[in-house]
Amino acid sequence: MKFADPKNDLAFKKIFGNEQHKNILISFLNAVLDFTDEYVIVDVTLANPYQVPKIPELKETILDIKATNQRGDTFIVEMQKKDVGDFAKRSLYYTSKAYVEQLPKGNDYTLLKKVYFIGLLNFTIFDNQNYISRHLIINQETHTQDLDDFQFTFIELPKFTQTLSQLKTILDKWIYFIKHAEDLTMIPKEYHDLQAFLDAFEIATQTAWDKKELEVYDYIKLREFDEINALRTAERKGMEKGMEKGMEKGMEKGMEKGMEKGIKQGMEKTKIAIARNLIDLLDDETIASKTGLSAEEIRKLR
């Protein structure tokens, strides 16, 4: 059995943005946001449900997931495989944009609902040890969350190191699925107790995909390899150019130092030669003043 990599943009959207299997996204959101009791999500409306994208559009399209729950709260889920810089600022931008878009001009601000941003990152951006971190707007003096309409959750996949036998929570199982599904050849027994996981594995089974989906999936994968290779090539060329310039500068500096040293040594020899010629004619102090040598050096020459 061959499972797709959930970190691939297409696979991620196909699994978690599937309108026919909203139970997958609901389970994932409840686990990530630790929702219990009245906050538990029971239904979601997908703002951008999964559709097979056209390859030319992929260069400009971000395959994220946007949904609202029964309370009207907005959820943005984004999978980011490579560090393109300023991801934290980007998450602020998309969250604030989603918040503003709720309210047409002239409406009451009380209608605005919370926006939750969830970023799944295949790299690290924070110093915390745990793979998941939640960020709120906190009153610095009272440590209370007075402004509670924004919440950011970041999951840094490299920090998740648990094995199958160590999975304890539903969240652990989801993160393990996202990180390792493509390496599995069968559904582990640890996942048999929840329908959402079985559905996710079924959707990730590539043998059930159509030709167009496989084509786009492979295109995204190849594009990622090309971008990685382009970055490595640029780094290698940069290092080579830097080393070349460094060697040139080093040689120039070496020549300068060599010339300085040669001139210095030549002057010393000239002084000594002059001093030797004056030894029979003048006293030590006069020779020292004429040549710049010390009286001790003159005495040694005598």
* Contact present, 47 and 25 (Cβ < 8 Å): no
Q: Is residue 25 part of a domain?
A: yes
* Contact present, 176 and 167 (Cβ < 8 Å): yes
Q: List the pLDDT tens digit at each of the 302 positions of the chain.
A: 889 999 998 999 999 999 999 999 999 999 999 998 888 999 999 988 888 877 766 665 556 899 999 889 999 999 988 887 788 898 999 999 999 988 877 678 888 999 999 999 999 999 989 999 999 999 999 999 999 999 999 999 999 999 999 999 999 999 999 999 999 999 999 999 899 999 999 999 988 899 999 998 898 888 776 666 655 665 566 566 656 666 666 666 656 665 566 667 667 777 787 777 777 666 777 777 777 888 788 788 77
Claim to verify: residue 205 and residue 257 sit in the same structural domain: no
Helix residue spans in 17-66 (DSSP H): 22-33
Claim to verify: residue 145 and residue 35 sit in the same structural domain: yes
Claim to verify: residue 147 and residue 89 sit in the same structural domain: yes
**Residues contacting 228, CB < 8 A, separation 6+:** 82
Claim to verify: residue 55 and residue 157 sit in the same structural domain: yes
Q: Which of 193, 209, 225 is the last residue of a domain?
A: 209
3 state DSSP class of 154: strand
Distance CA 46, CA 153 (A): 19
Q: What's the domain count of the chain? A: 2
Claim to verify: residue 255 and residue 155 sit in the same structural domain: no
Claim to verify: residue 25 and residue 126 sit in the same structural domain: yes
Q: Is residue 222 part of a domain?
A: no
Q: Range of 269's domain?
A: 236-301
Claim to verify: residue 291 and residue 248 sit in the same structural domain: yes
β-pair type (74-80, 147-156): unpaired
Q: Is residue 220 part of a domain?
A: no
> The pTM is what?
0.73
